[in-house]
Structure 1
């Protein structure tokens, strides 16, 4: 997708109170794929002793959901104004998320009425190694007739 489309999709996030509050940015947006990033922020971490500094699981689940929706947007004629909604979300936590995050979502299938994605959220280990912190998948109801 061209730079204008990327800017338009980022504007959708910037206009969304929750996603803009999280600091989500679209870094790649191409047919069947979306890559988003989110900076580590202390306000998003767990309050449980021993887990302080780790990003709350609800935040990473939101990233799986959001990246899925944006990957599926690439299958619509106008990716800035699709009609779609989550029908199922599966999140598996692999390790604590303690750094800035990158989430990569790929469309597995996008039909006329349903779409399916596979998602990985990556973070950085204390040693600086890039590792998967969350694996996820989602299904969405796609309302193509509204376009």
Structure 2
């Protein structure tokens, strides 16, 4: 059994310099259900005047790892991340959710999605994560 609590997992992500740099906000954080929000500002806009695909990728990677870690309570590392970019956005906010599709002892597979503030699907992705147990 891991000594890290759900609140401890949340604090790890809230104190992450990368999470702070991008501007992610936690809307909801419970075991197996995390909702992440990203207000769009000029730092995220690409040459096409829409949010850069790297911001989508970072958001999916983070929501998947946060959701998985909220369950296993141990560090996880991304092994694979696949993204389908479905629509662009240039203002407002992006909202991400995820769920675990398959949980093994050492690896987990999750599925995440990003919507806009009105629920329009912007991106969908799957990821495989390795659990680092101590």
Normalised to the residue count of structure 1, the TM-score between the two structures is: 0.79
SS of 1:29's equivalent?
A: strand
**Residue of structure 2 equivalent to 1:132:** 121
Q: Return the offset for 1:31.
A: 2.9
Larger radius of gyration: 1
Contact 1:10 1:25 in 2 (8 A): no
**Aligned partner of 1:94 among 78, 86, 108:** 86
**Residue of structure 1 equivalent to 2:41:** 41
Contact 2:10 2:29 in 1 (8 A): no
Runs of 4+, deviation exceeding 6 Å: none
**Residue of structure 2 equivalent to 1:72:** 68
Q: Deviations over 1:64-102 (max 9, x none)?
A: 0000000101222xx3xx221000000000010223110
Gaps of 5+ in 2: none
Aligned length: 129
Gaps of 5+ in 1: none
**Residue of structure 1 equivalent to 2:99:** 106
Normalised to the residue count of structure 2, the TM-score between the two structures is: 0.86
Distance in 2 (alpha carbons) for counterparts of 1:9 and 1:28: 13
Distance in 2 (alpha carbons) for counterparts of 1:107 and 1:41: 30
**Residue of structure 1 equivalent to 2:24:** 24
